[in-house]
Amino acid sequence: MKGTGVSGRLCVKPVTHGRDAINIFNRPELLTAGNPAKRIVLFALPLFAGEFFQIFYTMADAYIVGRWLGIDGLAAVGAVYNLISFVFGFIIGLTGGFAVITTQRVGQGDERGIRRSVAAGFFLCFVITVIMTLLLLPLAPFLLSLIRTPAEIMKDALGYVTVMFSGICVFMFYNMSASVIQAGGDSFTPTLFLIVGNIINIVLAILFVAVFSWGIRGAAAATVISELIAAILTFSFLRRRFRPFLPRRQDWRVGWHELRIHLSLGIIMGIQRSIVEAGNILVQSAINGLGAVTIAVVSAAQRVRGLNMMPLFSMSRAMITYTAQNYGAGKMERIHKGIFQTCLISIGLGVFMAALNQFTGGPIVSLFLKGSPQAIALAKEYVLITGYTVSILGIMLVFRSALQGLGRKSAPVLCSVMETAMSVLAAFVLIPRFGFTGVCLVNPLSWLASGIPLYIAFIFLIRRRIYRTSNPL
């Protein structure tokens, strides 16, 4: 479907302005032309496919662990789920922040600026990977104790976390490579390699857990190995199809100014993700105190929650690229139009997913909680409450992504702080007082509170027209 953008490979047209203008791309159009809603949706579709297979993988992984290692094995994975999300959420935010600057420069048509941005991103990824690995591996036992991991699943939980933390370099490498490709307008290829990795992950998990009997470490090893394969495929494609983006020898001599602007936005976006996950860890700590059965119930229900949120997160990821490219091209009115249209789409998706939960929520959670009617009933309650309120999340994500694409830092951070504050309230007030019902209310309240600073910030920007006079990074 060359030239149509249907595949999600939205390409760069030749740009002729600027000393280092890019005039060598013959790939699909940027998101700076055409109907905003159509462009955003087409760009989001491959991301949606990737999200779907990612959720499918987590479901398959939960099924494999629950089927062969029992409820304690599933509880061990569930107990550390938010801790792992905290670490890898930071990586996703970090690399996404680096890529925002790259994407803005793609919109400008600044070829040399793109190469220097990619060089700065990969260099900082290397340094941060070393620091994170050396810190997290020795701290793993302490962190599991801190989140009140039950003694009966501590050994399995520690084994799972240790293997996953050993693969930080792999996850960093894949996300940085994929982010650069997406900055160039191709959302299809990194998703394709992610899907391939997920399929390999499921095969390896069955092999390591069911055949070789490697236990919980086998499930983690399958994840790291499959991510390594996806990372190699993604970087190989980057070298072959986006060679103009790759740094030349002189581009690696990036100064402190270049590193600072990347580090500033990358760390901020990483912290945004991690602040939210820190709140989730507090919630998980409170859930862990309710016992292994409740941990398993929430772990199963979160798989369905992921299905609810999947299309909304795909739209928000597309919105970051859309906003950054149009900001780089100076098309501010187009950004407004894209935000409005994407909000309408997100509301529609939320309503659809809520209705779908009525029919599919129970059967899906029963796959992981076989033989436990009480656990299935609790998981279904969690799924229904999440589904009814997921449209709130959709609107919040659109505005947060737009501000991130503009390079704004304060409001998205405040958004994360508000979300975390609600998680703290849930961990210390709602869950101790209302038990499982309190667990079900955590997400809706967090989504509602976190949107407030975003909406205020965007109204402020429009009225003062601040970003109209700002230059892209």
> What band does 179 get if pLDDT is binned at 50, 70 and 90?
very high
CB 8 within 8 A of CB 188: yes
pLDDT of residue 417: 80
DSSP 8-class letter at 210? I
Alpha helices in 329-429 (DSSP H): 332-368, 373-405, 410-425
Share of the chain above pLDDT 70, in %: 91
Whether the CB-CB separation of 379 and 365 falls below 8 Å is answered with yes
Spell out the residues 6+ positions from residue 3 whose beta carbon is closer than 8 angstroms to its own: 11, 28
The helix or strand, by DSSP H or E, that contains position 135, with its residue range, turns out to be helix 111-146
160, β-bridge pairs:
none
The pLDDT tens digits for 22-79 are: 443 434 457 888 899 999 999 888 888 887 877 777 778 778 887 788 778 878 887 7
Region 441-450: what's the mean pLDDT? 84
pTM above 0.95, yes or no: no
At residue 17, the pLDDT reads 38
How far apart, in whole angstroms, are the C-alpha atoms of residue 99 and residue 113? 12
Using CA atoms, how far apart are residues 270 and 191, in angstroms rounded to an integer?
Answer: 21
- Report the pLDDT value the prediction gives residue 473, as an integer from 0 to 100: 45
Does the structure show a pLDDT above 70 at 122? yes
Query: Between 137 and 20, where is the model more confident?
Result: 137
Question: Can you tell me which residue has the tokens 């402190």?
Answer: 256
Question: What pLDDT sits at residue 319?
Answer: 92
In contact, 472 and 108? CB cutoff 8 Å: yes
| pLDDT for res 167 | 94
Share of the chain above pLDDT 90, in %: 28
Q: Is 291 helix (H, G, I), strand (E, B) or coil?
A: coil
The predicted pLDDT at position 371 comes to 64
Buried b or exposed e, range 30-39, using 16+ CB within 10 angstroms: bbbeeebeeb
Q: How would residue 115 be classed by pLDDT, with cut points 50, 70 and 90?
A: very high
Q: What local confidence, expressed as pLDDT, does residue 56 receive? A: 75
Distance CA 123, CA 128 (A): 9
Angle, vertex CA 170, rays to CA 232 and CA 137, nearest 5: 165
What does the alpha-carbon distance between residue 317 and residue 309 come to, in Å, rounded to a whole number?
A: 12
Please give the structure tokens belonging to residue 49.
């496919």
Residue pair 235/170 in contact by the 8 Å Cβ criterion: no
C-alpha span between 174 and 343 (Å, rounded): 30
Q: Which tens digits make up the pLDDT trace of 379-398? A: 888 888 888 888 888 999 99
* Residue positions counted in the chain: 473
What's the mean per-residue pLDDT of the chain? 82
**pLDDT value at position 464?**
64
**Alpha helices, DSSP H, located in 206-331:** 215-241, 256-288, 292-328
The model's pLDDT over 257-308, given as tens digits with 9 standing for 90+, comes to 899 999 988 998 888 777 777 777 777 777 777 777 777 788 778 777 877 8
Q: Can you name the residues that pair with 21 across neighbouring β-strands?
A: 110
